[in-house]
C-alpha cells in the first residue's frame, strides 16, 4: 500500500504550486488564476516531498512496491493514450492485466489532478494536465517550433501527410504531423514510436549515423517483417542506406504498412548527428516513382534548411 501512496505523492509534487511553474488545475479541468512562484534558495520545500522521502524508505523495504505502482500507473495511461477514446475500468483492467480495484485506485488519484477525466457514464479519458508534460517536452526539444514553418511549406506543395520525427536515446518518435487534405490519409499519431529500419524517416536517420553507431544498431536489432515487402536482411539494408546517403533522402514502399509509401530525409545538428527526420507519406496508388523522387528532393532541401537553423554547416 505504501507504493500506492508514493504514486499519489509523485503526482502531488508534479502539480504542487511550489514545485512547478504553471497554474494549478481544478478537478473540472479549469486552471486557477494567480501568479506562480519559482522556488528560490530560501523557499520551503512542499510537505509532499518530505512525505515522499519517508515513503521511499518504506518502499525500499517493500522490495520495489513503489516502482511497481508507478509502472502500473504508466501502463494505464499508456493504454488510454493508445485507445484515443473514453474507456471504462473493466476495459483498462483487461488490457493491462491489473485488477479493477487497482485500476480504480490509480484513476482516482490521477483524476484528482486532472491527469484523467471521468464522464457521467463512468468512463475515463486523458485529461488536460498531460498537456503540460507534452508542452514541456516539445519546448525542451525545440525541434517542432523550428521545423513547423518548413513543414507547412512542404505540406502545401505536396498535399500529402508530412511527419516530423525526433531521434532520442536510439529511438525515433513522431513529434509533429500535418494531415493530408485528401479523404484517405494516415493513421499515424504524434508520440508513436517508429522502427528505424522499416520507415523512410528512420532509414534517413540510420544513414546519417556514424558507422560505429549504425553497426551497433544492426547488431542489437531484430529486423522483423512489418509487411511482405519489409527488408529484413541487414546487408541489404546497408546497401540501401548507402544509396540514401548519395541521394540525400530515403524511400520506403509498403514496407512499414501495406498500401503506404513514404520518402524522408534526416535533420542534423551542428555536429552533423541526426536528431530527427522529415517525411512525406501517402497511399501508394497516388504516390508514383516520379512523385516520390521529386518530393524526395524537396524533403532533402527542407531537412537541410531545418538543419541549418540548428547550426549544421556541412
As a whole number, mean pLDDT of residues 198-203 equals 96
CA–CA separation, 4 and 10 (whole Å): 10
Asked if the domains 2-129 and 142-309 are classified in one and the same CATH topology, the answer is: no
* Residue ranges per structural domain of the chain: 2-129, 142-309
Q: Inform me whether the pLDDT recorded for 248 exceeds 70.
A: yes
Q: Inform me whether the pLDDT recorded for 57 exceeds 70.
A: no
Burial of 193-223, coded b for 16+ CB within 10 Å and e otherwise, reads ebbbbbbbbbbbbbbbbeeeebeebbeeeeb
Q: What is the DSSP string of 50-113?
A: HHHHHHHHHHHHTTSHHHHHHHHHHHHHHHHHHHTS-B-HHHHHHHHT--HHHHHHHHHHHHHT
Q: What percentage of the chain exceeds 90 in pLDDT?
A: 53
pLDDT of residue 46: 39
Q: Inform me whether the pLDDT recorded for 38 exceeds 80.
A: no
Q: What would the pLDDT profile of 15-27 be if each residue is shown by its tens digit?
A: 444 443 333 333 3
Copy the grid coordinates of residue 310.
540548428
CA–CA separation, 37 and 20 (whole Å): 8
As a whole number, mean pLDDT of residues 205-211 equals 96
In this prediction the pTM is: 0.61
pLDDT of residue 191: 80
As a whole number, mean pLDDT of residues 301-309 equals 94
pLDDT of residue 272: 93
Q: Inform me whether the pLDDT recorded for 36 exceeds 80.
A: no
Q: Are 165 and 252 in contact (CB under 8 A)?
A: no
Copy the grid coordinates of residue 293.
523522387
As a whole number, mean pLDDT of residues 167-172 equals 91
> Going by C-beta distance under 8 Å and a sequence separation of 6 or more, which residues neighbour residue 11?
109, 110, 112, 113, 115
User: Given pLDDT bands bounded at 50, 70 and 90, which one contains residue 9?
Assistant: low
Contacts 24+ apart (CB under 8 A), 131-138: 132/20, 132/22, 134/191, 138/175
Nearest to 256 by CA among 313, 305, 187: 187
pLDDT of residue 199: 95
Nearest to 55 by CA among 67, 40, 43: 67
**CATH code for the part of the protein at 142-309:** 3.30.450.40
Q: Are 112 and 129 in contact (CB under 8 A)?
A: no
Q: Inform me whether the pLDDT recorded for 125 exceeds 90.
A: yes
H/E element, 204 = helix 200-208
Q: Inform me whether the pLDDT recorded for 70 exceeds 70.
A: yes
Q: Is the dihedral of CA 207, 212, 214, 218 positive or negative?
A: positive
Domain 2-129 has CATH 3.10.20.30: no
Nearest to 105 by CA among 29, 23, 28, 11: 11
What does pLDDT average to over the chain?
Answer: 80
pLDDT of residue 129: 85
φ/ψ of residue 280, rounded to 5: -120, 135
Copy the grid coordinates of residue 155.
505540406
Structural Rg of the chain based on CA atoms: 23
Q: Are 226 and 195 in contact (CB under 8 A)?
A: yes
pLDDT of residue 65: 58
pLDDT of residue 60: 42
User: Given pLDDT bands bounded at 50, 70 and 90, which one contains residue 68?
Assistant: confident
Query: What is the torsion angle, in degrees rounded to the nearest 10, for the CA atoms of residue 91, residue 97, residue 103 and residue 106?
Result: -130
Q: Inform me whether the pLDDT recorded for 151 exceeds 70.
A: yes
pLDDT of residue 206: 97
Q: Inform me whether the pLDDT recorded for 243 exceeds 50.
A: yes
Query: Which of 141 and 136 is assigned the larger pLDDT?
Result: 136
Amino acid at each position: 500500500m505504501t507504493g500506492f501512496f508514493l504514486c499519489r505523492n509523485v503526482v502531488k509534487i508534479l502539480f504542487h504550486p511550489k514545485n512547478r511553474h504553471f497554474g494549478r488545475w481544478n478537478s473540472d479541468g479549469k486552471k486557477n488564476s494567480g501568479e506562480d512562484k519559482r522556488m528560490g534558495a530560501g523557499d520551503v520545500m512542499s510537505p509532499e516531498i518530505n512525505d515522499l522521502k519517508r515513503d521511499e524508505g518504506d518502499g525500499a523495504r517493500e522490495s520495489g512496491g513503489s516502482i511497481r505502482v508507478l509502472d502500473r500507473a504508466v501502463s494505464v495511461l499508456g493504454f488510454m493514450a493508445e485507445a484515443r477514446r473514453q474507456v471504462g475500468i473493466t476495459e483498462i483492467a483487461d488490457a493491462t492485466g491489473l485488477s479493477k480495484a487497482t485500476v480504480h485506485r490509480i484513476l482516482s488519484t490521477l483524476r484528482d489532478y486532472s491527469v484523467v477525466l471521468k464522464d457521467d457514464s463512468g468512463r475515463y479519458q486523458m485529461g488536460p494536465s498531460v498537456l503540460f508534460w507534452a508542452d514541456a517536452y516539445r519546448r525542451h526539444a525545440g525541434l517542432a517550433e523550428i521545423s513547423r514553418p518548413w513543414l507547412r511549406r512542404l505540406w502545401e506543395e505536396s498535399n500529402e501527410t508530412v511527419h516530423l520525427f525526433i531521434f532520442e536515446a536510439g529511438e525515433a518518435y513522431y513529434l509533429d504531423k500535418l494531415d493530408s487534405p485528401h479523404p484517405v490519409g494516415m493513421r499515424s499519431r504524434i508520440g508513436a514510436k517508429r522502427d528505424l529500419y522499416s520507415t523512410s524517416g528512420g532509414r534517413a536517420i540510420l544513414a546519417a549515423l556514424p558507422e560505429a553507431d549504425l553497426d551497433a544498431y544492426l547488431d542489437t536489432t531484430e529486423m522483423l517483417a512489418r509487411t511482405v515487402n519489409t527488408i529484413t536482411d541487414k546487408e541489404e539494408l546497408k546497401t540501401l542506406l548507402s544509396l540514401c546517403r548519395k541521394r540525400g533522402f530515403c524511400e520506403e514502399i509498403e514496407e512499414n504498412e501495406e498500401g503506404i509509401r513514404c520518402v524522408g530525409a534526416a535533420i542534423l545538428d551542428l555536429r552533423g548527428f541526426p536528431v530527427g527526420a522529415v517525411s512525406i507519406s501517402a497511399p501508394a496508388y497516388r504516390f508514383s516513382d516520379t512523385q516520390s523522387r521529386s518530393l524526395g528532393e524537396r524533403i532533402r532541401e527542407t531537412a537541410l534548411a531545418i538543419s541549418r537553423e540548428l547550426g549544421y554547416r556541412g
